[in-house]
Structure 1
């Protein structure tokens, strides 16, 4: 019989949060993020090196005997909460979670896995960011010992050193980034760019079977994405509260008006629910209990709450919220992009209905 999970944050998780938040406060201010997305290189690789190498966070999900830190998805979720709060332009979700989980499922994935865990290399799973766990995914053609084809919507491919590419023979192949052609694609969220990957006779080394690896990777990505959305929603509310305390009309703080109090209270309750759902998904991934259900619940709930929190932040900041210099547009764009990443809320509700045998008539 399974026991009830403890979804409260442990002392170790709170210490990890404090360390990551301190680092991001010093090295990932929103003005710097806005300045980066105006260039052709939005990723902050110096920050990534500190997170991955200096703090060892890239290997949280990797067992110690395979070169990692031997932590769990609960710790990775805490990191993603803080990265979501900062809208940090680093490939943590794509490399340290999704690509890492795919490699953990591969029989011959130890060599690239150790490189990703140490932060020496960045990996990306060459499956469209929009793909939900369990959904069909595109593959490339393997012919004459080389890979041919085109895959679109690959997140953070621009900074990946190695791409994990599913092929039509059922295998997952490691392909060096220099062997493919990348074409940037338009994305609403400029802090997590996507690209089209073209393989024209690219060599690849088979690591294992694609189907279980991709399924495992996307499930972990979807489950932990909820923690990023939680951090994003919480930061949106915090910034809105700060603004409404400082902004005055009729010689009193705007936040004192009853109608706004009601809106903020409702949003606070929704974010509290999101925290429970996100923590439940992280705990289920860590323990392996009711994982599919917990992930579907979290993603069915997370996107609408994160988007509404960002939309409320934009509206309640008034005219200043519409300016490029204010960070609220970063929150809204990330929330909207996250709402279709690893499956829409509707797709997860449909999956959940099937899992609990409550399909519509």
Structure 2
């Protein structure tokens, strides 16, 4: 396999990177409180990012998940405070588990930025029938949900939620509108200042089951989410390395740049080695994402590798910066917080390696 982007993909990455550099510098990210509404509108209308890899028949651009991974990598590099991850995961859930009528009806608003979706899955337990915290039951032909979800990415700005709920020992996805009776959204404190979370509380809330939901399709949705999160963490890790190298070249001690000291060289080299390995894992996962069998292996593999790499790079970059990076106010701590929270999202690295071993028959 050729692990290189095409000329068009490289140009797309450069264009998006330049746009985000101008529109979302880290100083603006700190002031956005996790959601820059004006920037989100521009990303939806000018760049049409939510619709990038969606088939043309549903109003998408008809690209692939490889282009979507490029987008997530650049947004992770800049820590852009927009709900693209939450919205993309909800779109993937509708696309994979809804029927034709539901896809046509629900995707329209999500792709245009007229609505924001959120997938109410933060951990593997949310989709496990034995531990799911939301239950579904029927009453007079309607489906009602009761329970509370775990942390939902950008839940406080979401217009609709894709909620896993258990009924008769089976978990399926349901669509819940934020403004419906019985639906309460409670914003939670978030360790990551750039990505807020909320808890969804449901009390006999009306819901629409997604018609073609099955355990295999749910796994597919989560594997796509793992791959895209891995791409996002790759971008964040690369940003940490860039900041560390720039500082090591300009900060002088004992009459020479600190980058000339062996300990600093080794720290940066270790970061680069892990980033190279992560880039290969993410690119392979994105390039083969159309194959469900491949993604079952590469999804958890890329998520585990990228999570550990991002955490390593954020911590090592803080060490390279020394005392100047000690305080939370330094920009590197924004990356440290993102690395810490995203590493736990959808399960730890240990969980993903165990999942990989199970799927590979080890």
Fold shared per TM-score above 0.5: yes
Name stretches of at least 5 consecutive residues in structure 1 with no aligned partner. Answer: none
**Equivalent pair of 1:62/1:68 in contact (CA under 8 Å):** yes
1:66 Cα deviation (Å)? 0.9
1:65 Cα deviation (Å)? 0.6
1:119 aligns with 2:122: no
> 5 Å matches for 1:229-244?
229-244=233-248
Aligned to 2:179: 178
CA deviations over 1:66-116 (Å, ceiling 9, x no partner) = 1111111100000001000011111111112x1111001211232111211
CA distance in 2, matches of 1:79, 1:171: 29
Aligned to 1:225: 229
Aligned to 1:338: 342
Match 1:147 to one of 145, 148, 156? 145
Q: TM-score, normalised by structure 1?
A: 0.91
Counterpart secondary structure, 2:108: helix
Aligned to 2:15: 19
Call closer, same or farther: CA 1:319–1:326 in 2, change over 3 Å: same
Counterpart secondary structure, 2:146: strand
Call closer, same or farther: CA 1:206–1:354 in 2, change over 3 Å: closer
Call closer, same or farther: CA 1:354–1:271 in 2, change over 3 Å: same
Counterpart secondary structure, 1:174: strand
CA distance in 2, matches of 1:117, 1:6: 31
CA deviations over 1:172-199 (Å, ceiling 9, x no partner) = 3222111221112232212112111112
> 5 Å matches for 1:52-63?
52-63=44-55
**Equivalent pair of 1:109/1:207 in contact (CA under 8 Å):** no
Aligned to 1:193: 196
CA distance in 2, matches of 1:272, 1:325: 29
The number of residue pairs the alignment matches comes to: 348
**Equivalent pair of 2:119/2:163 in contact (CA under 8 Å):** yes
Q: TM-score, normalised by structure 2?
A: 0.91
Question: Greater CA deviation, 283-292 or 57-66?
Answer: 283-292
Name stretches of at least 5 consecutive residues in structure 2 with no aligned partner. Answer: none
Aligned to 1:245: 249
Question: Greater CA deviation, 195-204 or 82-91?
Answer: 195-204
Counterpart secondary structure, 2:4: coil
Match 2:123 to one of 108, 124, 130? 130
Counterpart secondary structure, 2:150: strand
CA distance in 2, matches of 1:33, 1:162: 25
Aligned to 1:306: 310
Counterpart secondary structure, 1:89: coil
**Equivalent pair of 1:139/1:168 in contact (CA under 8 Å):** yes
**Equivalent pair of 1:61/1:69 in contact (CA under 8 Å):** yes
Counterpart secondary structure, 1:285: coil
1:345 Cα deviation (Å)? 0.9
Counterpart secondary structure, 2:211: strand
Counterpart secondary structure, 1:168: strand
**Equivalent pair of 2:343/2:349 in contact (CA under 8 Å):** yes
Match 1:356 to one of 354, 357, 360? 360
Call closer, same or farther: CA 1:133–1:231 in 2, change over 3 Å: farther
